[in-house]
Amino acid sequence: MKNQLGGEITIGGIRLQSNVLMAPLAGYTCFPFRLMVERLGAGSAYTEMVSADGLKYNNQATTKLLYTDDREKLKCVQLLGSIPTVFEKAAKSELLAPFQIIDINMGCPVPQVVKAGEGVALMEDMSKASKIIEACKRSGKVVSVKCRIGRNREKIVIEEFARMCESSGADMITVHGRTRDMMYEGEPLYEYIKAAKDAVKIPVFANGGIDSKDKAECAMQQTGADGVMLARFGFERPLLFAELTNRPTTETKLSLVMNQLALATECFDELSVLIYIKKLSSYFMKKLPGTKRYKQELYKAGSVAQVRGVLGKIFGEA
């Protein structure tokens, strides 16, 4: 029986409210944003990318990345690194104690990450990748892996890689249907996500280029995937989660961004709030008339109160 878009799904014994997930995005998927998409229907939303090795410093930046509380029902963290013992120590650490799911980043194509042997570079060292998965599983947490289909079209390794993930104990795989050299451009190659799905029994999620209900349904149909994971389009249009999960909502861009402003003010210092809300609002106002003028006014705002006033003008009367 084929999975239905928006339906519930179980990952490693954990029941998710839907099979429409939010990808980890560095600089974007902070605590307020994760709460928002969960409320709109997302089955899970991961933290921003966290360095497994960097956890040992337990600095202010790490604290912000890992900020959560009981309002976040399902807590998921994404770790980046390349050393199995470091992953194990991180997975078992007190800092990650609140998190039920650990996602291992094996898909980031950014040059400095790849040069460090992290992200998508791990797809070319399956022995090390396997040890990292096994190390994270020893924490007793549910473990997922986010990856690509390979380095380039001449070196697509996703079938073998998916089998390795499953045999190493991964509970789920999310496959970004692009190669490393495609970065974030070009049409995802759904046939290779299907190849991964056909190769394993654990849930496989399709990721890449999903910006509408039609695209999500197409991805499910063409790949046979168990669900979809939104990335930048989930950030640009969070209401897409409600649409994909058939969840009635009266939310608007104005109510969403004002709620985010209130939540961020509660959780972070004013500078962090301003950076996040300006970034989120810039995405929200895409295609709105007068965007350039509004964006200039928004970025000149130097306080939360000023930002609140500008947001009311951009998105409607507050």
For the annotated catalytic residues, the residue numbers are: 108
Tokens of 111: 């040059």
47 with 77: CB under 8 angstroms? Answer: yes
CA distance linking residue 273 with residue 82, whole number of Å: 32
Chain centroid to Cα 207, Å, comes to: 10
131 with 104: CB under 8 angstroms? Answer: no
CA distance linking residue 280 with residue 269, whole number of Å: 17
Tokens of 38: 């969960």
**Residue 229, helix vs strand vs coil:** strand
* DSSP, res 149: S
CA distance linking residue 170 with residue 155, whole number of Å: 23
Please provide the distance, in angstroms rounded to a whole number, between the alpha carbons at the two ends of the chain: 46
Q: In sequence order, what are the residues at sequence separation of 6 or more whose Cβ sits closer than 8 angstroms to the Cβ of residue 117?
A: 82, 125, 128
